[in-house]
Amino acid sequence: MTADELASELAQAFPSDSNDLARLHARLTSAAQRDGILDVAYRTVDSPVGPLLLATTEAGLVRIGYASEDHDAVLQSLADRISPRVLNAPSRLEAPARELGEYFTGRRRSFDLPLDWRLAAGFRRAVLSHLPEIGYGQTASYAAVAGLAGNPRAIRAAASACATNPLPIVVPCHRVIYSDGRIGNYLGGPEAKRTLLSLEAAA
Amino acid sequence: MTGKQPFEAVVARHGATVLRVCRAVLGPADADDAWSETFLSAMRAYPDLPEGANIEAWLVTIAHRKAIDVTRAAARRPLPLAQTPDGATGAGADNPGQAVGLGIGSDLADAVAKLPAKQRQAVAYHYLAGLPYADIAAIIGGSADAARRAAADGIAALRRAFPGATKEPTHERRGQ
């Protein structure tokens, strides 16, 4: 028996199957939470605009990521910017998952979730914090949004705040379009933006 | 700038190996506790782990310490009568108890459980975790040569005890 065969015999003698690992992962998640070291918890949910990554800190929902952003890349940037103590912990994200589900089925018009704004700063954050003032099913121009944030001429900066919104959907940057009616860019792609706007128009 | 990967990726990549190592070193009954303590402790220290550190060796080092803790705790707690008919030998480091319910390979698991602690650790860390003997020596103490001898003695004992492992003579150097 060669060393490799022996190693494979030993691996069989001491199995570690996916059920065991899932159970241990859940145990690790609750222990980490109990000890206050689960800095970033995440899960994914399916939606009409594709799978969404939801991430939360102790302070609140911190990031919603579209598949087009590459969820692994989003998780890496959360590890870099917030903390590498990141675990897949669906139970920590039950409320956002439920509210998004209600939104996508037309039963919810605004979100009632604690938000962690740390990934947006300065004027961008000011812009984003005013977006919930645009009502469900309404749209506003980038110029109007710049005005809400206190600088009506900062149209480009308002557009860039929307383009880098860490919390799309919940912070409704999809409701911001050009004043000539063009739909404009969107983190999740223009198709996703159209889907959200028609969902809200229909409800 | 990209720094450390999310801890989730560490668990996904190394969780299975660490569980095998815990099962080999401690037996199935205490392996879950050792695994959980290992990853909880690793997650606490993870932000301070130097860039470029060998994560598998780091995790096995923690698992080794946690296994010692778990063994000590097990030795302190009262044992069910059925497990210790003579009451004299607890589930100490040299006797992690019978491997039960493992199905395929359980004879080999039993044989591993009967090895002296150092041999069992050297075999697990080299053949299951794939660590080189220099790393193993840093974990269990002594020289790399001593770690290599402990693994070789352990493998020789397994070949004697477990007929399936006695087919052929051997080159058991793997890695360094």
**What is the extent of the structural domain holding A137?**
122-202
pLDDT given for residue A1 in this prediction: 61
Angle formed by the axes of helices A122-130 and A155-163, to 10°? 80
Is A10 a member of any domain? no
List of chain B residues whose C-beta atoms are within 8 Å of the C-beta of residue A87: 6-8, 11, 43
Please name the residues between 89 and 108 in chain B that touch chain A, using a CB distance below 8 Å: 99, 102-106, 108
Output the DSSP codes for A105-168. Answer: TT--SS----B--TT--HHHHHHHHHGGGSPTT--EEHHHHHHHTT-TT-HHHHHHHHHT-SST
Query: A41 in contact with B at a CB cutoff of 8 Å?
Result: no
Is A109 a member of any domain? no
Whole-number Å distance between alpha carbons of B149 and B145: 6
Whose tokens are 């080092």? That residue is B61
Query: A13 in contact with B at a CB cutoff of 8 Å?
Result: yes
Looking at the structure, tell me whether residues A154 and A187 fall in a common domain: yes
Looking at the structure, tell me whether residues A96 and A32 fall in a common domain: yes
Is A92 a member of any domain? yes
Looking at the structure, tell me whether residues A144 and A77 fall in a common domain: no
pLDDT given for residue B80 in this prediction: 58
Query: B7 in contact with A at a CB cutoff of 8 Å?
Result: yes
Q: How far is A150 from chain B (nearest CA, A)?
A: 33
Domain boundary among A104, A138, A163: A104
Domain boundary among A71, A104, A137: A104
Looking at the structure, tell me whether residues A90 and A153 fall in a common domain: no
Q: How far is A2 from chain B (nearest CA, A)?
A: 6
Is A74 a member of any domain? yes
Looking at chain A, the whole-number percentage of residues with pLDDT higher than 90 is 87
Looking at the structure, tell me whether residues A28 and A96 fall in a common domain: yes
Q: Is there a contact between B164 and A35 if contact means CB atoms under 8 Å apart?
A: no
Instruction: Kindly list the catalytic residues of A.
Output: 173
Whole-number Å distance between alpha carbons of B85 and B92: 15
- Cβ contacts of A3 within 8 Å, gap of 6 or more: B127, B170, B171, B172, B173, B174
Looking at the structure, tell me whether residues A99 and A137 fall in a common domain: no
pLDDT given for residue B54 in this prediction: 94
Looking at the structure, tell me whether residues A137 and A180 fall in a common domain: yes
What CATH number did the domain enclosing A173 receive? 1.10.10.10
Q: How far is A141 from chain B (nearest CA, A)?
A: 34
Looking at the structure, tell me whether residues A94 and A24 fall in a common domain: yes
pLDDT given for residue B99 in this prediction: 39
pLDDT given for residue B85 in this prediction: 42
List of chain B residues whose C-beta atoms are within 8 Å of the C-beta of residue A40: 6
Whose tokens are 């001593």? That residue is B146
Is A24 a member of any domain? yes
- Per-residue exposure over A80-106, b if at least 16 CB sit within 10 Å of its own CB, e if not: eebbbbbbbbeebbebbbebbeebbee
Nearest by CB: B108 against A13, A32, A37:
A13
Band (pLDDT 50/70/90 cuts) for residue A141 is very high
Looking at the structure, tell me whether residues A97 and A26 fall in a common domain: yes
Q: How many domains does chain A have?
A: 2
Is A114 a member of any domain? no
Domain boundary among A55, A70, A104: A104
Site from B4, B8, B110, B168 to mutate, A interface, most A CB atoms within 10 angstroms: B8
Looking at the structure, tell me whether residues A30 and A94 fall in a common domain: yes
Q: Is there a contact between A83 and B8 if contact means CB atoms under 8 Å apart?
A: no
Q: What is the predicted ipTM?
A: 0.93
Looking at the structure, tell me whether residues A94 and A153 fall in a common domain: no
Do A196 and A169 meet the contact criterion of CB atoms below 8 Å apart? yes
Is A142 a member of any domain? yes
Q: What is the pLDDT of residues B105-154, one digit of tens each?
A: 578 899 999 999 999 999 999 999 999 999 999 999 999 999 999 999 99
R_g (Cα) of chain A, nearest Å: 21
Site from A1, A8, A12, A14 to mutate, B interface, most B CB atoms within 10 angstroms: A14
In A, minimum Cα distance to B105 occurs at: A13
Do B91 and B72 meet the contact criterion of CB atoms below 8 Å apart? no
Is A5 a member of any domain? no
Whole-number Å distance between alpha carbons of A138 and A167: 19
State the number of CA atoms in the 13 A half-sphere of B47 facing the CB.
13
Q: Is there a contact between B19 and A20 if contact means CB atoms under 8 Å apart?
A: yes
Q: Is the dihedral of CA A87, A92, A93, A98 positive or negative?
A: positive
Looking at the structure, tell me whether residues A24 and A52 fall in a common domain: yes
Site from A2, A4, A8, A16 to mutate, B interface, most B CB atoms within 10 angstroms: A16
Counting as low any pLDDT under 50, the low residues of chain B are 82-104, 166-176
The DSSP symbol for A82 reads T
Q: What is the pLDDT of residues A45-97, one digit of tens each?
A: 999 999 999 999 999 999 999 999 999 999 999 999 999 999 999 999 999 99
